[in-house]
Amino acid sequence: MKNSRTAPHVDPPEPPHTRPPAGASPSPGARPSAHDRTAWDLAVRNNRPDAVAELLDAGADPDAAMGEHRETTALRYAAPRGMTAMAQRLLAAGAQPDGRLDEGQATPLMLASAQGDLDMMRLLLDRGASPRSVASRRARIIAPGPPAGMPDGTPLASAAHGGHLEAVRLLLEHGARPDPETREAAVRGARKPRPRDPGIRRGTPEEYRAIQELLEREGPA
């Protein structure tokens, strides 16, 4: 007797997903993925100075834009993360110590000062970073009150806002001069709640008081 049951329906297999060819532009509106990151991005993000050195030897630009949206540089990425060996490699290869993609961005020294990283600050200052560099006022209007750990408009204000007494002293020794915004940054930083992120370095109440007294003694800019 012939079987009257019909065979079950089976959907045809989907075509395999393939990566776009090298150099192809992503689809409009597509979010960048790990596939879009360059070897330079990966070497910097993974803190691989040896890999960065190889890429530099092959002709990589130490000041090239990087990041998912090409929003920063390798030195700006390294500066607030304590990646001193990485910064040394980049600077030795000719990276600009005050390099940034536009004047609205914080310089590497501002970013290091916001963390109170004295080793990184000394490295940048020794290589010519300016203790008087300024992030444009336009950028600060967009975000007038920087969150804890983020830089203010100058290296000195960044250090004062973070409550980093020794960083403030170091910058003053290198020619930075306080202004009303710097003093305001110290007051504003002291009022902020303690950050929950352990990666954000903040001074103690005693350090904030000492910074405010030091800035007052230094007088106007």
Same domain, 87 and 109: no
CA–CA dist 194, 200 (Å, integer)? 9
Domain range for residue 54? 38-96
Same domain, 163 and 112: yes
Same domain, 68 and 156: no
**Using 50, 70 and 90 to split pLDDT, how confident is the model at 54?**
very high
The structural domain count of the chain equals 2
Q: Could you report the per-residue pLDDT of 98-133, keeping only the tens digit for each? A: 999 988 899 999 999 999 999 999 999 999 999 999
Same domain, 90 and 107: no
At 50, which CATH number?
1.25.40.20
Same domain, 175 and 147: yes
Same domain, 210 and 177: yes
pLDDT at 139 over 70: no
Residue 76 forms part of a structural domain = yes
Of 31 and 52, the one with more pLDDT? 52
Residue 89 forms part of a structural domain = yes
Region 6-22: mean pLDDT is: 41
SS (H, E, C) 13-70: CCCCCCCCCCCCCCCCCCCCCHHHCCHHHHHHHCCCHHHHHHHHHCCCCCCCEECCCC
Same domain, 131 and 220: yes
Give pLDDT, residue 129. Answer: 98
Residue 172 forms part of a structural domain = yes
Q: Could you report the per-residue pLDDT of 154-206, keeping only the tens digit for each? A: 999 999 999 999 999 999 999 999 999 899 999 999 988 777 777 777 889 99
Residue 21 forms part of a structural domain = no
Tallying the residues shown for the chain, one arrives at 221
Same domain, 137 and 74: no
Same domain, 135 and 219: yes
pTM over 0.75: yes
